[in-house]
Chain A
Amino acid sequence: MMKLRYVLLTLVVTFSSLSVATDKPSTAATEVRLKRLSTELRCLVCQNSTLADSDAELAQDLRNEIRTLIDGGKTDEEVVAFLVARYGDFVTFRPPVNANTALLWFGPFIMLFIGALVLILMLKKRSAVLGAEP
């Protein structure tokens, strides 16, 4: 009885894994481009991993979609544009410089500038105080 249960469980596990989406077969050249592209793209389900690393079903679907696009003769830029049009700049790990992301790109430099300004002002004041002493 236990044995039968075990066999049934094994069967269930085996066949349930078969129904999960799988990566569709493709050519080596497509795979190379897919690999490069998908390490630059974010998986939206598990947000901090790339499309290449993710096992989420959506990531698999998107990889298959990218394969179809590549085989359809689309350039890398067109593939990225396809995904950005649907999921937004968030899918790219290197967000483009635009009005939305300006603060992200230039914010640190603004902070650095403010910090430097404060430092210079304080140093000037300090030397003035020190210079005034006998």
Chain B
Amino acid sequence: MRLKALIPFVLFIILIAFLGKGLFLNPREVPSPLVGKPAPNFTAPILGDATKTFSNADMKGKVWMLNIWASWCAACRDEHSLLLEMRKYDLPLYGMAYKDVEQDAIDVLAKMGNPYIVTATDQDGRIGIDYGVYGVPETYLIDQSGIIRYKQIGPITPMDLREKILPLLKELNS
């Protein structure tokens, strides 16, 4: 009889657990259908030197990271120092200036430091659409065979780096 009286309380706790979980979910983090699929092909002019281009095909056979950012994006400033720090890992980082004014992007990199090996430009946002970008910064970890293994929506936090990106990188390189 006493156990039975506990049933509503247990149900209440379960309900609270679900609501609590919902409260801490980030509605902006929409799981990308692109994870596990080949990275969409693109060939884009390089920032500061439009005569040269960068293509995802150039990276075949390597594990690499594509960071889509913009000079007008405040959240991108937040992760900038972390990106600079990430140069110490064996992970080639390439940038994509999304819907940006070229000179503004160049200025930001000159002022804050350039974490990218190469920065491509996506002036009209078409590459962004193919990559399902809806809020910069967004970052993609792409494996040796060109498959997207991880997508970060919003700035990379030190926790994301430590708990998701680095373990995945280790697994891909082994």
Contact = CB atoms under 8 A, between A and B. Distances in A.
Interface of A: 44-45, 47, 57-58, 61-62, 65, 84-90
A86 to B, nearest CB: 4
Contact of B134 (A45, A65, A85, A89): A45
Nearest to B99: A57
A45 B136 CA distance: 11
B69 interface: no
- Sorted nearest first, the 9 A-B pairs with minimum C-beta distance are A44-B134, A86-B132, A88-B33, A90-B30, A87-B132, A61-B125, A58-B134, A88-B30, A65-B129
Contacts of A45: 134-135
A85 B40 CA distance: 11
A85 B133 CA distance: 12
B30 A86 contact: no
A85 B135 contact: no
Binding site of B, secondary structure by majority: helix, strand, loop or mixed?
loop
Given A45-B134, A57-B99, A58-B134, A86 B31 contact: no
Centre residue among A44, A45, A89 by max chain B CB count within 10 A: A44
A88 B129 contact: no
Contacts of A61: 124-125, 128-129
Contacts of A44: 30, 134-135
6 contacts: A58-B125, A86-B33, A86-B129, A86-B130, A86-B132, A88-B31
Contact of B131 (A58, A84, A86, A89): A86
Given A86-B130, A88-B132, 15 more contacts: A44-B134, A44-B135, A45-B134, A45-B135, A47-B28, A57-B99, A58-B133, A61-B128, A61-B129, A65-B129, A84-B33, A86-B131, A87-B32, A88-B30, A90-B30
Centre residue among B28, B33, B135 by max chain A CB count within 10 A: B33
